[in-house]
A and B are shown apart, each in its own frame.
Chain A
Amino acid sequence: MDRREFLKHIGGAAVATSVVLSACQSGDTPAPLIAQNVIDGQGQMTYRTNPNTGDKVSLLGYGMMRLPVEGGGTLRDHPDSPIDQEMVNQEIDYALEHGVNYFDTSPVYCKGMSERATGIALARHPRNSYYIATKLSNFSPTTWSTEASKAMFENSLKELQTDHIDYLLLHSIGGETKELGSMQLFNTRFIDNGILDWLVEQKAAGRIRNLGFSFHGDPKVFNTLLQWHDEGKYHWDFVQIQMNYVDWNYAHRIEPENVNASYLYNELNSRGIPGVIMEPLLGGRLANQPDFIVKQMKEREPETPVARWAFRYAGTPEGILTVLSGMTYMEHLVQNVATYSPLRPITPEEDEFLMKVAEEFVELKTVPCTACNYCMPCPYGLNIPVIFDYYNKCVTEGKMPAGNTEAREYQEARKRFLIGYDRHIPSLRQASHCIGCGQCIEHCPQKIDIPTELHRIDDYVEQLKLQG
């Protein structure tokens, strides 16, 4: 065991001894040891095996999209701050120490700063102690040309300080723009410019070990690519999908065009293609549940953190290679390591329970934003993710003004809502300034109709202001 675990056990023993002694003195039965209450995190990290390469990948993967910045929080809180490299180094050190060996980044994460920060942190460890996953994120038309896409890949190698990428993904296929449908966009990004074939060559040359793709949006593209896999045209070593206990059966309830995770998983599993999971917490929202849901979870397991339910769920299916979590804070990392050391799979009865919770969750009608920031920067200056986050928090924390508008509580709640709104988002960046240009819609992986949601929130704010 390492120093931390040793100290933990010594401390536990010391407390236990003193408790027993004091109990003996008073003649009562000894009080339970504190260490006994911890259910998870007592063993080793769970690993899954990649059927193609035999890689033993930790079930907990580190997502590098929500890195901490200087000044605290993420880029959402301080949009202009640099990455807190010290913190990233510390977290990666802890992760590796506790058996995490999969790190997922992309050239566009954290305003382009993620790959570099990841590279700096990982370069301090032996290359064969971790797997790097990155993506070909050629979303912008300026990156569609063969040269530009190749340059993006080469740049990734440079920033990550390596000569090979263990897991390379075609980033977020299934999206579409105003001009190009989903298949058309895919072809433009990867087929017409020969990039997919070039990547296959890179794999043959050993610069890529596993080739796969991540998916958001139109299932037609997903199905087509799997069809190519069946036909032997291309071979997918892994596929990254959005999966959590809400998206399993209820993705279409959140946004009608979204496809259920159960479908995606089954398509992969039936072909023996390992799945990598993203959004196990639905952008953090499954960790921030309203009181009545938290109560149900805590009644079953009082010491289990709310987020752990979602992580246990995401890791349970055997066809999952790793579950990615964007762990900004050390506390999240420690908690998640415990969740997967080892994994306690969800029982069928617990599965039923979580489906019920999912049903209640979709009824809340929060905005299904995962704060991925792909819609930013809004050309008119709106701070879209923060507006949604503020609204969602007020809904889940029960802070929406409700009841008789003349009542004191209503007036107080109204005042707090409006002042809180101004405190979180400067007036010029609030929902009232959304002109509905629609540029953001095509970028949203969750297919949120952003202008409609913003106008809905603005109408609500306007209604509240008029009551003043």
Chain B
Amino acid sequence: MLRKLRILLQVVTITLVTLLLLGIGFRVHLWAGWVAKIQFLPALLALNFGVIALIVVVALIFGRIYCSVVCPLGIMQDFFSWIGGKVKKNRFSYAKEIKWLRYGFLIVFVVLMFIGFAPVTTLFAPYSAYGRIVNSLFKPLYDMLNNWLAGLDAANDRYNFTEVQIWMRSVTTFVVAIATLIILGVLAAWKGRFYCNNICPVGTTLSLFSRFSLLRVRFDKDKCKSCGMCEKNCKAQAIDFKNGKVDYSRCVVCGDCLDRCKFDALHYTAKKAQPSTESKPVDKERRAFLAATAMAGTTAALAQAEMKMDGGLAVIEDKVAPKRQTPITPPGSISALHLQHHCTACQLCVSSCPNNVLRPSTDLQHFMQPTMSYERGYCRPECTRCGEVCPTGAIKALSREEKTLQHVGHAVWIKDNCVASSKGVHCGNCARHCPTGAITMVDYEGPNGTIQVPAVDENKCIGCGACEHLCPAREESNPFSGIYVEGNEMHHIG
């Protein structure tokens, strides 16, 4: 019964979390966003005391059931462990708690998190690790499906699906995601919840409370026939049947052992098992499981057109993101440091950004945490998506007015790239689109005489990137923008 309930809850959780991380649409976030916000590490970082207290209380009452039904990485590992169980049945045996490893790592993790060393915080956060796997590996497949549906919609005059750009936001993060999936998949297939019980900082933290849980798996010594099936199927390697003991700091309350025991000798109860005649009937109901599928698709490219007078489209070179001295962090992140200390790099904001601005950073200081760049779009004034979805509060949710007051960066004009100053072409596209009116066109001595070039009022510039995105400078020989945004380490307000 516990096992079946556990599996049902796992299916619900993993479906909601995955849908959320695929960036399907804002509607999904409205009714499934809470699943990200009840994850332990995000709640801790967001100082969401309600959720933190709830998780601790649940651990004190039920044990580490969180690790089975709330943590998506745990659910993923259970899946691989189940596969491992099909290959080799009854493969587990009791293993002693490796105290030095789990507590040692927890201390290292906490210290590094406090000093803001992002790579450790982001790599080992379990919900975020799952987030990266979904974002890097599954989202492109979902996006292909989306674009196929958008094509059907376009042909049938419906407006439910719109085409999205499919692009690899970061090769490094992609590699990390694949490596995580493979390593944990193999580890779980072989040794079950090894990661959860020896490395995962959330697991170790919860273990401090689950030791004292009210409800726990207990042996009824009278009924136990010492067949050992429970120990052999405990993916946490926490059952020592010979001594009738279960290590509650490592039991993830999955219910596999209860299911396996044919002698009704194991019970998940609050009291010690009494040698009485009463016994609970085993629930024999069966339930169905859901499965997800994926499809393949391709994208098209533009071809060259000769300079004939009627017709043809000019080739548009891809813009290259400039090397910014200071990276740009999203509005609501308050400062680069705030983001560094609070973000677990789950990629939820990256999947949700409708303008293709956010992507994971490759810089070690902010490893896999979101950074902004404007080759594919710019941070539109009416959009506040990233703050709305962020479960840790690394990006605070802002109203539209508040968001436009955040100066996340300042525009810098590059006279050698600007088509007006370097080629005498009459432009002004940056000034025309600046939402705060920070750019005015002023006279300049260009190669063919006086021409107008942009002058940026740094006080007014909010760093939204409209200028960088809409600047026409993008030749093959020099694919950099004539005006671009440098980040502000700390966002100025107003």
A220 at the interface (CB under 8 A from B): no
Hey, which chain A residues are within 8 Å of B419, CB to CB?
Answer: 435
Hey, which chain B residues are within 8 Å of A204, CB to CB?
Answer: none
The verdict on A435 contacting B425 (CB below 8 Å), with A381-B315, A422-B163, A465-B382 known, is yes
The verdict on A432 contacting B470 (CB below 8 Å), with A437-B425, A466-B382 known, is yes
Hey, which chain B residues are within 8 Å of A65, CB to CB?
Answer: 310
Task: Output the least CB separation between A438 and chain B (Å).
Answer: 6
A344-403 with Cβ < 8 A to chain B: 372-374, 376-381, 383
The verdict on A108 contacting B313 (CB below 8 Å), with A80-B303, A435-B427, A465-B380 known, is no
B370 at the interface (CB under 8 A from A): no
Contact B310 A108 (CB under 8 A): yes
Q: Is the interface of B mostly helix, strand, loop or mixed?
A: loop
Hey, which chain A residues are within 8 Å of B382, CB to CB?
Answer: 465-468
**Of the candidates B312, B426, B428, which one forms a contact with A377 in the assembled complex, judged by CB atoms under 8 Å apart?**
B312
**Of the candidates B159, B314, B426, which one forms a contact with A379 in the assembled complex, judged by CB atoms under 8 Å apart?**
B314
**Of the candidates B159, B312, B428, which one forms a contact with A436 in the assembled complex, judged by CB atoms under 8 Å apart?**
B428
Q: Is the interface of A mostly helix, strand, loop or mixed?
A: loop
Task: Output the least CB separation between A458 and chain B (Å).
Answer: 8
A433 at the interface (CB under 8 A from B): yes
Interface segment, one of A13-21, A109-117, A286-294:
A109-117
Hey, which chain B residues are within 8 Å of A373, CB to CB?
Answer: 309-311
Contact B162 A79 (CB under 8 A): no
B86 at the interface (CB under 8 A from A): no
B429 at the interface (CB under 8 A from A): yes
Contact B472 A435 (CB under 8 A): yes
| A428 vs B470: C-alpha distance when bound (angstroms) | 9
Task: Output the least CB separation between A59 and chain B (Å).
Answer: 26
Task: Output the least CB separation between B190 and chain A (Å).
Answer: 47
B292 at the interface (CB under 8 A from A): no
Q: Which residue of A lies closest to B313 (CB)?
A: A79
B432 at the interface (CB under 8 A from A): yes
Hey, which chain B residues are within 8 Å of A443, CB to CB?
Answer: 309
A56 at the interface (CB under 8 A from B): no
Task: Output the least CB separation between B26 and chain A (Å).
Answer: 11
A415 at the interface (CB under 8 A from B): yes
Contact B310 A110 (CB under 8 A): yes
| A438 vs B419: C-alpha distance when bound (angstroms) | 14
Interface string of B297-310 (1 = CB under 8 A from A): 00000010111111
Hey, which chain B residues are within 8 Å of A429, CB to CB?
Answer: 313, 316
B343-393 with Cβ < 8 A to chain A: 377, 380-383
Contact B433 A108 (CB under 8 A): no
B87 at the interface (CB under 8 A from A): no
A434 at the interface (CB under 8 A from B): yes
Contact B381 A466 (CB under 8 A): yes
Contact B162 A422 (CB under 8 A): yes
Interface centre among B163, B309, B382 (most CB of A within 10 A): B309
Task: Output the least CB separation between A283 and chain B (Å).
Answer: 13
Hey, which chain B residues are within 8 Å of A467, CB to CB?
Answer: 382
Contact B310 A381 (CB under 8 A): no
Q: Which residue of B lies closest to A74 (CB)?
A: B311
Hey, which chain A residues are within 8 Å of B270, CB to CB?
Answer: none
B98 at the interface (CB under 8 A from A): no
Contact A433 B163 (CB under 8 A): no
B154 at the interface (CB under 8 A from A): yes
Hey, which chain B residues are within 8 Å of A433, CB to CB?
Answer: 429, 470, 472
Task: Output the least CB separation between B440 and chain A (Å).
Answer: 15
Task: Output the least CB separation between B311 and chain A (Å).
Answer: 4
**Of the candidates A108, A432, A455, which one forms a contact with B308 in the assembled complex, judged by CB atoms under 8 Å apart?**
A108
A76 at the interface (CB under 8 A from B): yes
| A368 vs B316: C-alpha distance when bound (angstroms) | 27
| A429 vs B302: C-alpha distance when bound (angstroms) | 12
| A347 vs B45: C-alpha distance when bound (angstroms) | 82
A423 at the interface (CB under 8 A from B): yes
Q: Which residue of B lies closest to A468 (CB)?
A: B382
Task: Output the least CB separation between A414 and chain B (Å).
Answer: 11
Task: Output the least CB separation between B373 and chain A (Å).
Answer: 16
A419 at the interface (CB under 8 A from B): yes
Contact A377 B429 (CB under 8 A): no
Contact A79 B311 (CB under 8 A): yes
The verdict on A380 contacting B309 (CB below 8 Å), with A435-B425, A436-B426 known, is no
Task: Output the least CB separation between A278 and chain B (Å).
Answer: 14
The verdict on A381 contacting B428 (CB below 8 Å), with A415-B159, A433-B472 known, is no
Task: Output the least CB separation between B308 and chain A (Å).
Answer: 5
**Of the candidates B154, B314, B381, which one forms a contact with A381 in the assembled complex, judged by CB atoms under 8 Å apart?**
B314
A140 at the interface (CB under 8 A from B): yes
Task: Output the least CB separation between B299 and chain A (Å).
Answer: 11
**Of the candidates A79, A380, A434, which one forms a contact with B305 in the assembled complex, judged by CB atoms under 8 Å apart?**
A79
| A455 vs B311: C-alpha distance when bound (angstroms) | 21
| A129 vs B489: C-alpha distance when bound (angstroms) | 78
A127 at the interface (CB under 8 A from B): no
| A427 vs B319: C-alpha distance when bound (angstroms) | 14
| A376 vs B309: C-alpha distance when bound (angstroms) | 6
Interface string of B406-430 (1 = CB under 8 A from A): 0000000000000100000111110
| A369 vs B382: C-alpha distance when bound (angstroms) | 32
| A139 vs B307: C-alpha distance when bound (angstroms) | 12
Task: Output the least CB separation between B229 and chain A (Å).
Answer: 58
A208 at the interface (CB under 8 A from B): no
Q: Which residue of B lies closest to A112 (CB)?
A: B308
A132 at the interface (CB under 8 A from B): no
A448 at the interface (CB under 8 A from B): no
A125 at the interface (CB under 8 A from B): no
Hey, which chain A residues are within 8 Å of B154, CB to CB?
Answer: 423
A302-318 with Cβ < 8 A to chain B: none
| A415 vs B419: C-alpha distance when bound (angstroms) | 35
> Given A419-B159, A433-B429, A466-B381, 11 other A-B contacts at CB below 8 A?
A75-B311, A79-B313, A80-B303, A376-B313, A377-B307, A377-B308, A379-B314, A422-B163, A428-B316, A455-B432, A465-B380
For the complex of A and B, list the 5 residue pairs with the smallest distance between their C-beta atoms, beginning with the closest.
A373-B310, A381-B316, A435-B427, A377-B314, A373-B311
| A interface, CB within 8 angstroms of B | 65, 75-76, 79-80, 108-112, 137, 139-140, 372-374, 376-381, 383, 415-416, 419, 422-423, 427-429, 432-438, 443, 455, 462, 465-468
- Provide a sorted-by-A list of 23 A–B residue pairs whose CB atoms are within 8 angstroms: A76-B311, A79-B305, A80-B303, A111-B306, A111-B308, A374-B309, A377-B305, A377-B312, A380-B314, A381-B314, A423-B154, A423-B162, A429-B313, A429-B316, A433-B472, A434-B429, A435-B428, A435-B472, A436-B432, A443-B309, A455-B432, A465-B382, A467-B382
